[in-house]
Amino acid sequence: MKKKLTILLSILMVSTSLAGCSQAERGYLNMSKQIASSSEYQTIGSFSCEIDFDALAALADQAAEQFMEEDAYGSGMSAGNAFSEVGLTGTKKIEAHYNMIVDMKSTTAIWADFDLEFDGKAYKMGDLYFDMVKGLYVSKDLLIGIYDLSRDLNPKGWDSYFYSDEYRNELLKALEGSEYVSYDISEEQNAEIAAEIETISLYNKESYEAAYQFIESAFSGFTTGIVSQTKDGYKISLSGKQGKKLMAEMLQYLADNTGNIMDAYKEYASVTMKNMPGLTEEEKTAANDEFEEIFSQNNKILVSSYLAMAKQMFVESDKAGYIDFINGFQYEAALKKSGNKYVSLQEATLKDGKKTIFAFNSQSEIMIEQGTVALPALPEAKVSFDDMSDAIDTIENKYNPVATATIEWWNDDYGDNEVTISYARSKSSPFSGYGEIDFQPYFIESAKLYVPMRSILENLGEQVAWNPNEKKAYVVRSDKQIEMTGIKKNGVTYIKVKDFEKLGYTVSYEYDQEWGLHTAYMRL
């Protein structure tokens, strides 16, 4: 376990070292710190990304051949095949515009509005609103926009029924009369959450300070050489070849200065742990004791040796040409300040010779507010997440009913009064996994298992009914009624599991005497 933690720490140190401490780098760090530590701000921006998936697949296969004698995946599968299987071929372009308001001064609230275009087609994406005290609100336009985008971006990613117009109309019907899907925070939760906001706000502020102090302390003797000062801000420029050289230099610096860097990180971790909300004093003491062991002198030596080996492996891989695909990479960024407004520009490209594989660029304006950010009012026309989830379950049960169900329960002497039901569907969508689990009450009568009728049969895509005069349960299929052996208890109708054979299911049974576990299987 200690060795795994040590390896993890090595990786963490590399990932947090993408900053140096030259004058320009410290200035860039301080400007970033001003933005990150702001409690109220508005960001308006856009980004675009264009990817040639055929060229990307060719480059990936070429790079993989450096490591394997067989094809890209060693099993007859290439990156090109992998992309084409989900419908990603040729050149695709996606563009987005967004407007986001953040308020972490009086509460923790975020509002964001999106517009998106993919391959020249515009999508109405709508907005979302999150308030730590009031809840989460997601617009109907955003939900349907994500659905429409997935149909066009990944046309082979899910089963065909999920992409049908009929399925889309069912989703719209479930949202009819509601502009938002909401998860509301109850009044009981409000008081508890509101009491935590001040603590979290203080924790965030101190954590930011500690994080930047760690970078300045740990990398005071290192410079990336990729940051330069401009008239009103800072610029970053990095090519693929520069990136490989920089990585080797960083690994060497980390190996040579492991002790100082680990001490600085220990201080950062201690400050973070000290102010972390929700931890007891005993938990904090235990964590600090763990830090003492992790950041011991022996571990410092071990981490240093891992980093030295990592540097040697990286250099050898570069000499062998294994990472030559990075050579065509270029990254440019600029961060400027004017009054209380910051402007961020980024551009990244990857080329294979003269062919552009992908090109990304973004620009944003961040306005640091001196007063209060005016968040939009919460919407009134809404449906709850629970109701929407139930509606989606109903739609899935209609188009993709459960194919098999496994029911498990223990002997009564275990004191468990519920069965565990695992469902599996034959088709796939984001809403129908292969491991759906439900818990339901049950009883045994005349050595027969009885389970709630409605919940299970609706998952199987069946329409259920109870005739109060006859006191009988039915499954309704078109104009046909199939009588089930039903018993009503406490207002709930239970049916005998063996009766599922009337619906075409094969029912089998197993018993594990050692564990006292009963299992019933239902398969179409």
Residues 364 and 407 in one domain: no
26 shares its domain with 85:
yes
Residue 408 covered by a domain:
yes
Q: Residues 238-249: pLDDT tens digits?
A: 999 999 999 999
Domain count, the chain: 2
- pLDDT computed for residue 76 by the predictor: 52
The more confident residue out of 279 and 507 is 507
* Edge-to-edge strand list for the sheet holding 418-425: 436-441, 418-425, 402-410, 517-523, 506-512
Same domain, 107 and 167: yes
**243/360 same-domain check:** yes
Question: Are 361 and 505 in the same domain?
Answer: no
Residue of higher predicted confidence among 300 and 417: 300
| The predicted structure's pLDDT at residue 208 | 67
In terms of domains, do 113 and 43 share one?
A: yes
**pLDDT attached to residue 347:** 97
Q: Which pLDDT score is estimated for 349?
A: 97
Could you say which of 368, 387, 414 is where a domain stops?
368
pLDDT band at 4 (very low <50, low <70, confident <90, very high): very low
187-210: per-residue pLDDT in tens? 666 555 555 555 555 445 666 677
Percent over 70 (pLDDT), the chain: 85
Indicate if the pLDDT at residue 26 is higher than 60: yes
Same domain, 108 and 171: yes
Domain range for 463 is: 400-523
| Burial class (CB within 10 angstroms; exposed 0-12, middle 13-18, buried 19+) of 451 | buried
Query: What pTM does this model have?
Result: 0.72
Same domain for 245 and 338, yes or no, is: yes
| Pairing of the two strands 355-368 and 382-384 | unpaired
In a domain, 248, yes or no: yes
Answer for the pair 462, 484: CB distance below 8 angstroms, yes or no: no
Would you state the structure tokens that stand for residue 518, as one six-digit string? 């009963």
- The answer to whether position 413 is within a domain reads yes
Question: Is residue 71 over pLDDT 50?
Answer: no
Is 126 a residue whose pLDDT tops 50?
Answer: yes
Show which of 368, 384, 419 is a domain's final residue.
Answer: 368
User: Is it the case that residue 296 has pLDDT exceeding 80?
Assistant: yes
Considering the domain architecture, whether residues 363 and 438 belong to the same structural domain is answered as no
The verdict on residue 387 lying in a domain is no
Q: What percent of the chain has pLDDT over 90?
A: 31
Q: Residue 222: which of 254, 244, 248, 264 has the closest Cα?
A: 254
Smallest CA-to-CA distance from 86 within 154, 163, 146 is with 154
Whether residues 514 and 433 fall in one domain = yes
Q: Are residues 304 and 437 in the same domain?
A: no
Please name the residue ranges forming H helices in 356-414. Answer: 385-399
**Does 336 reside within a domain?**
yes
From first CA to last CA, the distance across the chain in angstroms is: 46
Do 451 and 346 sit in the same domain of this protein? no
Tell me whether residue 376 is in a domain: no
What element of type H or E holds 276?
none
Residue 365 corresponds to which amino acid?
Answer: E
Residue 340 lies in a domain: yes
Which of 346, 368, 390 marks a domain boundary? 368
* pLDDT per position as a tens digit, 75-96: 455 666 777 777 778 899 999 9
DSSP label at residue 279: -
Domain for residue 125, yes or no? yes
162-175 confidence digits (pLDDT tens): 999 999 999 999 99
The pLDDT of 458-469, averaged and rounded, is 80
